[in-house]
Amino acid sequence: MEAIRELIESDRVTIFDGAMGTMLYSKGIYINRCYDELNLSHPDLVREIHAEYVRAGAEILETNTFGANPYKLQQFGLEGSLRLINIAAVRLAREAAGDRCYVAGAIGPLGLRIEPYGPTSFDEAKEMFKEQASALLEGGVDLFVLETFSDISELRQAIRAVRELCDLPIVAQMTILPDGNTSFGTTPEIFAARLDEWGADVIGLNCGVGPAIVLAAIEKMRGVTNKPLSAQPNAGLPRDVQGRQFYMCSPEYMAKYAKRLIQAGARFIGGCCGTTPAHIKQIADAVRAISPRRQYVVVQDKPKRIEELTPADIRVVPPEERSRWSRKITRGEFVTTVEVLPPKGCDASQTLEQIRLLKAAGVDAVNIPDGPRAQTRMSAMATALLVEREIGLETVLHYCCRDRNLLGMMSDLLGAAALGLRNLLLITGDPPKMGPYPDATAVFDIDSIGLTNMVNKLNHGLDLGNNPIGQPTAFCIGVGVNPGALNLEHEIRRFEWKVEAGAQFAITQPVFDVDQLYEFLRRIEHVRIPIIAGIWPLVSYRNAEFLHNEVPGVRVTPEIMERMRKASEKGKEAAREEGLKIAQESLREIRDIVQGVQVSAPFGNVRYALEVFSVLPEFARATERIALGERA
């Protein structure tokens, strides 16, 4: 594993575990017990709960020591066992973690009031925290998690205590009420700024409330600190059911909010009261789908530049020789493509008939999506091969990371090269739960950045381990990019890595906000590669709503939504015409600032997509003939 400091300084999302108390209670441990003492009396039980979280996908385990401080242990007559309890807790977590997870020493509030609200002084509080932190440090923790604090002054003393002992990373987490503030009335903006000032390495929230309220607070905290943020909400607020307290948030609901928390800026995600390994598994799957584990990308280790590793007898195919598509892009020529979905069954005749219209119109290539939105369709690679062999039109084959492990990807790509496919659009892929088979699993060994590295290595005659493969591949490497990403800084960083990894061109998500595209292009000027803008001709107000709300990364502006709403009230044809008009306006506006466009064919209607191109002089005559049903 990478050093914990490197993990915190990186930008990838990391998964915490979930509740310990909830799990112990579910296994028959009554709440009148000292849960921390179970590290000594029931070690196998504690170790197994840790192991369940490891299997679920947690990357940081918190020790079972939330209340293992002098004051709370004294209430059970266990103050003399403080050192043994904390050391045992670290050992149990470490045994479950192996070399797969980090172990964080968990420290909660003392359980008493400190000045000015109680008789305990700041220094007395600091010394109590220091006693527990010292034992956890002796046990060998990788970092500290100071959690569930309502009083920011008390949390400050815990930070002081740890800092006097060591320089290990500190995750400092407050807890808030449904109104978004602490029980002392401190706002997220205030405590985030203070914790930043006091030296916390990660600042966050846990316990108290469910994910919706935590999300609102994280959004406020992001504006006042550049430190990494963490979020470990409860599984909602507890409800009384026949005298028992139940947390009602499902694992799926928590996973949905995990994505939103990441988009809002959270880098460490986990759960608190009410969350179980089932919740953490769903969260981990969701996180891997949108922020896959970069440490799995073997090609990231580059002691030498790839050019220095290329075998001496290998000639890397220049970009202008890889394909007609690659040659036009390399020369700076404007390129056009239409996205057409693979057929749903094994009969591709209707799809091929539609694609023939594209060749007749003079479109440069057809984009073939790979399992779009996790739907079941014919293999994109098989469809691309049929198109190139039967029609002679070049394809841009989408290839995603969702369904294959590293070896499977290597085999696929070598096979694609042998079959003559040359143009790739490398994407991470939608999680399977977006599709009709919610129990389908994802792989996500690497993300699109790692995949770009992999293909670039193949183009240099190397496999993942830098071993020669003989004749190199000759792929033109494309990547996806989203100018409308909620976290644009993160999107730009990923784009920079894709360019560094070897991307030759990028295709955007459908653009409905031209000003947004202008701003994005300005922000990436330092790493600019040819940008091909996505255009989606809307067909109805419902279609616009669907894209805006249910397709990741797509934002339809309020103005366009209103235009489509008014047009749809007049009927289907009026809505279709308005959608076409909007798409044509977008194409005219962006024609001179991008190097190409990709027009989607809604519901497989290629003729409709071609009408968008009619505003370009070079397409006007051909599209007119096709609209009349003629053949070029």
Round to whole Å and give the CA distance between 295 and 388. 36
User: 232 with 206: CB under 8 angstroms?
Assistant: yes
Round to whole Å and give the CA distance between 12 and 219. 18
148 three-class SS: strand
Whole-Å CA distances, 330 to 309, 325, 399, 454: 24, 9, 22, 21
Residue 249 annotated in ligand binding: no
105, β-bridge pairs? 144
CA R_g for the chain: 28
User: 141 with 88: CB under 8 angstroms?
Assistant: no
Tokens of 169: 């990373």
Round to whole Å and give the CA distance between 337 and 534. 10
Round to whole Å and give the CA distance between 499 and 627. 39
Q: Are strands 238-241 and 244-247 parallel, antiparallel or unpaired?
A: antiparallel
Residue 272 annotated in ligand binding: yes
Termini Cα distance of the chain: 59
The helix or strand, by DSSP H or E, that contains position 246, with its residue range, turns out to be strand 244-247
- Residues 6 or more apart from 575 whose CB is under 8 A from it? 538, 539, 540, 541, 564, 567, 568
Round to whole Å and give the CA distance between 385 and 482. 28
367 three-class SS: strand
Whole-Å CA distances, 32 to 28, 29, 75, 241, 515: 12, 8, 11, 20, 60
Place of tokens 């797969």: 100
182 three-class SS: coil
User: 292 with 428: CB under 8 angstroms?
Assistant: yes
Peptide bond before 43: cis, by omega within 30 degrees of 0? no
Residue 346 annotated in ligand binding: no
Annotated binding site: 207, 272-273
Annotated binding site for Zn(2+): 207, 272-273
